[in-house]
Amino acid sequence: MRVLGIESSCDETGVAVVEAAPHGVPRLLGAALHSQVAMHQDYGGVVPELASRDHIRRVLPLTEAALAQAGLTLSDIDGIAYTRGPGLAGALLVGAGVACAMSAALGVPTLGVHHLEGHVLSPFLSADPPAFPFVALLVSGGHTQLMRVEGVGRYTLLGETIDDAAGEAFDKSAKVLGLGYPGGPALARLAEQGDATAFALPRPLLHSGDLDFSFAGLKTAVLTQARKLGAGLAARQADLAASTQAAIVDVLVHKAVAALRATGLRRLVVAGGVGANRALRQRLDQACVRHGWRVHYPEPALCTDNGAMIALAAAMRWQVGAWPPGGDGLAFDVLPRWPLEAVALDATGTG
């Protein structure tokens, strides 16, 4: 089964081809990606209308590039997957529309994929793929969740953020530090030269006893600290970046460890853009070594949005028999708000 996957939920257009046998981990054959970050930078955030228009411009050339890399043509494709949600409605419609048009032209089925399922399964394309069951720490721009994952489509939410996501905490703090948008990676780079103990910042909900997160207060504390420094901020920028990163990482590591303890599971899977963060990886590696747990990450390029994770999730759904006969058909609907539990399958694989 060769699946072409299209991701267009936000500000990355991604197209990829994944090949799956009935069993075993699917293989990535080709992938192409365009990030709109530069286009949205001037506005300090994603402009939905610009995002949709750019997806339209990019999606076909990227499809050609992904197929060329795989050494395939469209006639070699057995199914088309697209991100159905969650995300920006207009952006999602581009991927869904193109997927359904291709499906009609080729006579192959479509499958609408949950974006977060793509993120959670993305480490299966790494050199060290996980095995079920595991605890997933999903840390992206819009979500921060801990999940118990028993298999494809078998996700139990253990805890999540009650306000900002971890990626948002990075981005909003970076904005305060004058690092532009989205500043997460820039803040992480600057933090490498700073003293993480320089400023005492809050670790919200660290000892709440549950597996929920809160990052809104941290962002406010960073803003207060930056105002206090005033003109002195420039000289202390790296220290404040390092202290901010340490606060976010502390909470994420503490709660991930608590989730592994609470579930008794011995395997952690990290996914989402913040999963690329070096400090987070180091701290999680240390914690897992100490407890004798395994930890798996996506390849750095597959932490943020991409087409490969969408093709992969669809291929893994096909492996457990979760494609409806004929796929999802051509009456596509996108779901800008869509809880992951909505794509739950029972233990036999079917929904």
Residues in contact with ligand ATP by CB under 6 A are 10, 115, 119, 140-143, 167, 170-171, 182, 184-185, 188, 272-274, 276-277, 304-305
- In the complex, the smallest distance separating the C-beta of residue 113 from ligand ATP, rounded to whole angstroms, is 13
Other C-beta atoms within 10 Å of 114: how many?
24
The count of residues in the chain is 351
Asked if 7 interacts with Fe ion (CB under 5 A), we say no
171 is in an annotated binding site: yes
**Interatomic CA distance for residues 334 and 337, integer angstroms:** 9
Locus of tokens 């809160």:
214
For ligand ATP, the closer of residues 170 and 199 by Cβ is 170
For Fe ion, the closer of residues 305 and 328 by Cβ is 305
Locus of tokens 């914690």:
287
- In the complex, the smallest distance separating the C-beta of residue 276 from ligand ATP, rounded to whole angstroms, is 4
Locus of tokens 């999940």:
147
277 is in an annotated binding site: yes
Read out DSSP for 160-175? EBSS--HHHHHHHHHH
For Mg ion, the closer of residues 8 and 173 by Cβ is 8
**Interatomic CA distance for residues 321 and 351, integer angstroms:** 9
**Interatomic CA distance for residues 212 and 7, integer angstroms:** 28
Size of the site for Fe ion (CB under 5 A): 2
Bond into 182 cis (ω within 30): yes
Asked if 305 interacts with Fe ion (CB under 5 A), we say yes
From the list Mg ion, ligand ATP, Fe ion, none, partner contacted by residue 277 (C-beta under 5 to 8 A by kind): ligand ATP
141 is in an annotated binding site: yes
Tokens of 344: 């739950």
For ligand ATP, the closer of residues 140 and 243 by Cβ is 140
For Fe ion, the closer of residues 144 and 173 by Cβ is 144
From the list Mg ion, Fe ion, ligand ATP, none, partner contacted by residue 182 (C-beta under 5 to 8 A by kind): ligand ATP
Biggest alpha carbon distance in the chain?
Answer: 64
For ligand ATP, the closer of residues 115 and 317 by Cβ is 115
305 is in an annotated binding site: yes
Asked if 12 interacts with Fe ion (CB under 5 A), we say no
In a 3-state reduction of DSSP, which class is residue 137? strand
- In the complex, the smallest distance separating the C-beta of residue 305 from Mg ion, rounded to whole angstroms, is 5
Here's the x/- map for Fe ion, 140-159, by CB under 5 A: it reads as x-------------------
Contact 194, 240 (CB under 8 A): yes
For ligand ATP, the closer of residues 5 and 184 by Cβ is 184
Contacts with Mg ion, residue ranges (CB under 5 A): 10-12, 305
User: Which one, of 61, 109, 73, 31, lies nearest residue 309 by Cα?
Assistant: 31
- In the complex, the smallest distance separating the C-beta of residue 141 from Fe ion, rounded to whole angstroms, is 6
Ramachandran area for residue 304 (φ above 0: left; ψ -120 to 50: alpha; else beta):
beta
- In the complex, the smallest distance separating the C-beta of residue 211 from Fe ion, rounded to whole angstroms, is 21
50 is in an annotated binding site: no
Q: Which residue is nearest to Fe ion (CB)?
A: 305
Contact 175, 288 (CB under 8 A): no
107 is in an annotated binding site: no
Burial 69-84 (b: 16+ CB within 10 A, else e): ebebeeeebebbbbbb
- In the complex, the smallest distance separating the C-beta of residue 140 from Fe ion, rounded to whole angstroms, is 5
In a 3-state reduction of DSSP, which class is residue 291? helix
Locus of tokens 């994420």:
252
Contact 58, 87 (CB under 8 A): no
Catalog residues that contact Fe ion under the rule CB under 5 A.
140, 305
Which residue numbers belong to the known binding site? 115, 119, 138-142, 171, 184, 277, 305
Annotated binding site for substrate: 138-142, 171, 184, 277
Binding residues for Fe cation are 115, 119, 305
